[in-house]
Amino acid sequence: ERKIVFKVIREVLKCFSKNLGNKIYNKLTSHYRKKRENVIPNYHLHLISKINPDVIIAPDLSHDLPEKYNIMNDLHEVMYYINSEVDLEVKKAQEKDLERAKGIICVTPQIAHKFYNKFYEEGKVIVIPNAPLLSLCPKKTNFEGSDKVKFLVHGNLHGDLEVKEYLSVNFIKAFIKTNSKAILYLRYMNNRSDQVKDIKKLFSEETKAGKIVFLNPIHGGITKEIQNTMKEFDVGIIISPVNFSPMYKIASPNRLGTYLHSGLAVLHNESEFVKQTVQEANAGICFGESEEDIISKVNYLCEHPEELKQMKINAYKFAKETFNYDNYGKSLIKMIENIK
């Protein structure tokens, strides 16, 4: 939405002066890009300056950048090129930008193969999931549980879908019918305060009874302090809106890395990359859409404490050894070094 506004401003200003329109647009987008670059991990700055200062990593397509630059496109979870909602001319422009790029970064192999397979086969695509830096991984040595099993939903709400549809409300409706050992903790971003109020109203009795606990909202991204508080929980929950957008089926949600680095088992719905990662780590289980299946999976984790403990150990081990930016960033370093 922000980028659309920027482009409208540019086109209006270009009616008076083409140079002025482009100058203002570049100023606006450079501020946006700097903001994006400061999101973990900050490889845009330190890797390029140390390895190959002639490379620019653009968090978008490259048509506004001069031809003299060596461009890598950090497309992240953006599904350009084969987007059915854009017209033919836009697709051609997107393909031209991707042809120009020296490298393309996206967050899951599913996105790489589905949307950029042509470039993947050419060796231009690398996959770097949304995995935290190792420096954010809290020290954790105790994986024992207590008499209660603490389930955590952490992160953003996906707009009205969370309140009106399956995502949060239906999950909570099922959860309140589970084993008495299970406690659900909810910690959302503060930008969805109205929707959080709606959820609190729906489950006020369960909140009073202690089955549901609303934690203070978080302001901004993951910090080491927040990551440290998360290691006290047992299970991290990922409820991806896979029925509403194809992106969520193959995306890399930030909370996956956050849970693994905190040594939490992961309880998740059918999202391809999340499922693949959790299975590889042997660090959690997948639940279906039915209320019965949600109840069954929550109860299973409550009734098998030793298995849950091993999942938590596996999650932490997988995060330290594999699912971290320090590991995945090696492919980026190699690609940057080879760009001429």
Rounded distance between C-alpha atoms, residue 88 and residue 4, angstroms: 19
Q: For 150-175, what is each residue's pLDDT tens digit?
A: 999 987 665 544 444 445 778 889 99
Q: Over 70: is that where the pLDDT of 224 sits?
A: yes
Using pLDDT thresholds of 50, 70 and 90, give the confidence band for residue 62: low
Mean pLDDT of the chain: 78
Beta strand ranges found along 128-248 (DSSP E) = 149-155, 182-188, 212-214, 235-238
| pLDDT score recorded for residue 256 | 93
Q: Of 176, 154, 149, give the one whose Cα is nearest residue 300.
A: 149
Q: What is the mean pLDDT of residues 177-183?
A: 95
pLDDT of residue 14: 52
For the ranges 155-159, 235-239, 336-340, the lowest mean pLDDT is seen at 155-159
Low-confidence winner among 54-63, 65-74, 187-196 (lowest mean pLDDT):
54-63
pLDDT of 183: 96
Q: Using the structure block, give the residue that is written with the tokens 């086109």.
A: 11
**Residue entry with tokens 């909140």:** 207
User: Within 10 Å of residue 31's Cβ, how many Cβ atoms?
Assistant: 11
C-alpha–C-alpha distance, residues 179 and 215, integer Å: 21
How far is it, in rounded angstroms, from Cα 308 to Cα 285?
10
Asked if the model's pLDDT at residue 266 lies above 70, the reply is yes
The pLDDT of residue 127 is above 70? yes
* pLDDT interval class at 21 (50, 70, 90): very low
Q: Which of 28-32, 104-108, 149-153, 191-195 has the lowest mean pLDDT?
A: 28-32
